[in-house]
Homo-oligomer: A and B are copies of this chain.
Amino acid sequence: MRYALAGGGKRIRPVLCLAVGDALGVEPVELLPAAAALELVHSFSLVHDDLPALDDDAVRRGQPSAHVRFGEATAILAGDALLAEAYRLALSYGSPDVARELARSTLAMIGGQYLDVTGGEPDLEALDRLKTGALFGACIGCALAVAGVPSDEQAPWRQFGGEIGLLFQLVDDVLDEDGHVLTLGVNGTRRLAEHALRRADDCLDRVAADTSVLRDIAGGLLERTS
């Protein structure tokens, strides 16, 4: 479990959760269990997706994948335990809302991976929403839950999460030269990403919070090169 977590990565999900919380006036320490839980769910999905029966990736972030380093049995169990530990952390809050965000998004993510593996869903955008968008949405949702933002004020925030997830996936496609790049080309895909960034900024115009850090993060996601 530690090996899977310590390999680095961008930590974009916890960063996003903490940044939304910060904009809403929540102390980072209050958000840490939720932020960590989000990274654990992401990490669980990578460990299982790398398995030979799924994507069969022997390398993750320049290091041997968990199953290559520790064997398949341990990797399967480590993935399981990363998911369970994520819920344990999410359940350290008095309200079940953070854990509910996690449960909803984990199910969507696994459903997306299932459709991808079995070829049951040809629609790339539906797949992206399930495989990437749902957990990005939960990053925002967890912060809203901890901040206690009422449901009727959550719409622009949640929409922001959707755009950020899309933006992230589009830039991923450009960097990996797959997904949308196969039909739209690099320039077409980058253009879509720029539109998503613009819509994300529009969402932030509609919330009463200091969103400067979030705008920097969103802009950085468009410019990233890894």
Minimum CB distance partner of A108 in chain B: B84
Q: Is A76 an interface residue (CB 8 A)?
A: yes
Which listed segment binds B: A18-26, A93-101, A166-174? A93-101
Residues of chain B lying within 8 A (CB to CB) of residue A51: 76
- Near B by CB (< 8 A), chain A positions 35-63 give 44, 48, 51, 53-54
Shortest Cβ distance from residue A46 to the other chain B in the assembled complex, whole angstroms: 13
Name the distance in Å between A203's Cβ and chain B's nearest Cβ.
Answer: 27
Q: A71-B53, A117-B74, A117-B77 are in contact. Are A84 and B96 (CB under 8 A)?
A: no
**CB distance A107 to B95 under 8 Å?**
no
Q: Whose C-beta in chain B lies nearest to the C-beta of A117?
A: B73
CB nearest neighbor in B for A70: B118
A142 at the interface (CB under 8 A from B): no
- Whether B53 pairs with A73 at a CB distance below 8 angstroms is yes
Q: B81 to A83, Cβ gap below 8 A?
A: no
Interface code A103-145, partner B: CB below 8 Å = 1, 0 otherwise?
1101100110110011000000000000000000000000000
Oligomeric state, in number of copies?
Answer: 2
For the complex formed, measure the closest distance between the CB of A69 and the CB atoms of chain B, giving whole angstroms.
Answer: 14
Residues on B with C-beta less than 8 A from A74 are 114, 117-118
- Contact flags A60-94 to B (C-beta < 8 A → 1, else 0): 00000000000111101101110111011001011
A-B contact pairs, 7 of them (CB 8 A): A76-B76, A77-B110, A81-B107, A84-B110, A85-B103, A87-B103, A91-B100
Which A-B residue pairs are the 9 nearest by beta carbons?
A: A53-B72, A88-B103, A84-B106, A96-B96, A53-B73, A81-B110, A87-B103, A73-B117, A77-B114
Extra A-B contacts (7), CB below 8 Å, given A48-B80, A81-B107: A48-B77, A53-B72, A54-B77, A77-B113, A83-B84, A84-B110, A91-B100
